[in-house]
Structure 1
């Protein structure tokens, strides 16, 4: 058997670890209705390296903290709500940034797939790299993930760095990899007036999405201020105080450029 064959076999059938893997959980939601198909149990992981200026939950940024739990424990909690998972529902792991705890995500999704549960990962893609050991783990993750919900903050890398503190080069590379390997994606874009509403940038995002073969849905998420009290509680300066949510016209323009068609 070649090394390549061994790698493929491992990706298809992720091995069960010898010792329990601990994930650090910020919170859970029992009846999520927007983070994947159907009704879903959502696990919010602790930790994120991006510093999005509009983040509605900066409490998840810290790489320490959260409640330590095993994948078996989280799955047992999720299964209490399985009877509500109609129309393709299941489990979604979100964040923070779940890929920072990729071993835990792999294990929880592996256990979920053993029970025939639909799995979705809501991610910004920031930790993605084709370097090892992450890339091999990501291949294993793909084998047990039905849907990737990828939040592309901004297509222009310079503006992306200003908005999030991080580059988008590896994020776009992740989208290409998922497309090339046949993994279903939903794409999300937060619309922030004066920051992510630029027509040329939206057209650039639209052109990029056209190169992807597995995008099943594209969504505009209008900017809101619901997270401002959390910034104030944590003592973090909020730089978008004077920014208002997008107008209906701005939303419709962005949806038109990105080819999003909604029933009126």
Structure 2
């Protein structure tokens, strides 16, 4: 099996952190070197599986003699008590790799599971659930893959792949008009630009700016707007303004979105709802390695 270099770095770092300079003292002192065994990866609560490659890579890096037979794949919805994999090989290695492999699989499955919850809550609407950059340092690629496993989609991956103007950019950049002027002069035609607005007055100013450009036969600057911390009624009012605009604009809604508020925001017309909680405060799925 071929592994992504980024995944290899994550796993190697995690193992080095756990093993230190001398390795697994407990296992070395209690389990014979020649012992072999079988263990089962068990999901103890309902959830969406994610991170199987990270789990497999952990053991491949630690000891290639460990064989893993998977009975489920990423994005599968699994029931409590389900055995999703069988591991066979040197007993010491089965024990030593347990915590790192479960940490990764549990966290990523937790992200996929919570994402699935949000996706189901907006079913029947055209709204798409996406993540943010509020990820664990070093784990962004894995965590964003987990969001996809849960049925969500990815926002920009980093600062390098799209322009997203936040309130601090506007404040430090001299105001919305000044920032839009700089974007008009500096952003190329292939660069996607999204601008966050905190009020409907700001939205009106932004739309008027681009409406004037369109009227003059010039391409608009903004491709998407982010309505930040707005109520469903405010989102609906903002959507009406955007839909009357002479150029297509994607509307993203964000800011403190929870399971109890996401449906109303979707029904207000949001094209995209971004949820930082998918990654920054998720609870790990309860998974365990049980001896066969």
TM-score range, shorter chain: 0.3 to 0.5
Larger radius of gyration: 2
**What TM-score comes out, normalization by structure 2 length?**
0.32
TM-score normalised to structure 1 length? 0.35
- Of Structure 1 and Structure 2, the greater helix share is in 2
